[in-house]
């Protein structure tokens, strides 16, 4: 057997929220043929090396994938320094992230090898953003929320001008099928919050599947962290790819 090749690069002309132009990491399979796309949303610390690995993983599995640098507006510097500035300023606004995800979806669909289908996946705070995107954007074919914290907001003080709404309160507007991946030892979201999210989805008749893993906490896919759980992560990735095969495959 042989492994398929892929092409990966940083784009400097990614067009995001408000038409602002910045960087995004983009990878796609090397072989010809139409492919689905996946937008990857990074976590709060920033646009890091692990996120580029995730983008290449999708390309390796036959998807065109893009991870916009959600903090590119915050001036020059390395992604970690820019991420620190964003944190000190209270984080990035939901509107900005949703606009960037929309721009990333449009980019993927505009590529000549696109099959027209686009999924969104996010990790940690990016999982929350993925859930939010599923509720606020039209045209997403499948959403994956990996342990997104603060989808449910129990303390109203967490809401502010940048994050004015708890994503759970927008669940009625969710149009895309949703896959949720969670560790049962996670504290944000904790088991109760995951259960309440599932209850809301069930009550509203949404298409979803949730997978909960024992022996895993937050960020257990991330091989650069002690939170990494090889067995649970392998099964979780299988669930992600099965979900995207189901919802993003080219229709005849």
Partner 1 sequence: MCSYIVEKAAIAGSAKGPRGWMRIDTANVYYDHPYDAPFDHALCVDFVSEADGGMERVAVELSRESALALIEKIQAALASGDAAHAVPSDEAESCERSSLVGSQTEVARLF
Question: Which residues contact partner 1 by CB under 8 A?
Answer: 43-46, 48, 75-77, 79-81, 83-85, 87-88, 90-91, 124-126, 149, 186-188, 217-219, 224-227
User: Which one, 227 or 248, has the nearer CB to partner 1?
Assistant: 227
Report d(CA 84, CA 227) in Å as an integer: 22
User: Which one, 91 or 116, has the nearer CB to partner 1?
Assistant: 91
Q: In angstroms, how far apart are the furthest CA atoms of the chain?
A: 55
Taking Cα atoms as reference points, which of 78, 34, 233, 66 lies closest to residue 146?
A: 233
Q: Is 136 helix (H, G, I), strand (E, B) or coil?
A: helix
DSSP 182: E
User: Which one, 62 or 126, has the nearer CB to partner 1?
Assistant: 126
Length of the chain counted residue by residue: 252
Shortest approach of partner 1 to residue 130 CB, angstroms? Answer: 13
First to last CA, the chain: 27
User: Which one, 109 or 191, has the nearer CB to partner 1?
Assistant: 191
- Taking each helix axis from N to C end, the angle separating 94-110 and 125-136, rounded to the nearest 10 degrees, works out to 70
Shortest approach of partner 1 to residue 85 CB, angstroms? Answer: 6
User: Which one, 88 or 252, has the nearer CB to partner 1?
Assistant: 88
Shortest approach of partner 1 to residue 190 CB, angstroms? Answer: 10
135 Cβ contact list (under 8 Å, min separation 6) = 167, 170, 171, 173, 174
Shortest approach of partner 1 to residue 123 CB, angstroms? Answer: 9
Shortest approach of partner 1 to residue 132 CB, angstroms? Answer: 14
């Amino acid at each position: 057997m042989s492994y398929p090749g892929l092409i990966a690069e940083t784009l400097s002309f990614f067009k995001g929220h408000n038409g602002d132009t910045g960087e995004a990491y983009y990878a796609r399979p090397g072989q010809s043929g139409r492919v689905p796309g996946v937008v990857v949303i990074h976590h709060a610390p920033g646009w890091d090396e692990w996120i580029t690995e995730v983008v290449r993983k999708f390309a390796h599995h036959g998807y065109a994938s893009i991870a916009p640098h959600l903090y590119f507006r915050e001036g020059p510097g390395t992604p970690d320094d820019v991420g620190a500035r964003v944190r000190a300023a209270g984080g990035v606004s939901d509107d900005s992230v949703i606009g960037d995800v929309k721009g990333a979806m449009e980019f993927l669909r505009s590529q000549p090898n696109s099959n027209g289908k686009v999924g969104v996946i996010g990790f940690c705070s990016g999982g929350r953003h993925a859930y939010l995107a599923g509720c606020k954007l039209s045209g997403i074919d499948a959403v994956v929320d990996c342990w997104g914290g603060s989808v449910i907001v129990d303390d109203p003080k967490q809401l502010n001008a940048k994050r004015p709404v708890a994503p759970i309160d927008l669940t009625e507007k969710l149009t895309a099928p949703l896959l949720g991946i969670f560790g049962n030892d996670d504290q944000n979201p904790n088991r109760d919050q995951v259960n309440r999210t599932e209850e809301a989805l069930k009550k509203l008749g949404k298409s979803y599947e949730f997978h909960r893993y024992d022996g895993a906490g937050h960020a257990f896919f991330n091989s650069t962290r002690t939170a990494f759980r090889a067995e649970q992560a392998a099964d979780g990735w299988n669930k992600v790819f099965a979900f995207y095969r189901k919802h993003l495959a080219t229709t005849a």
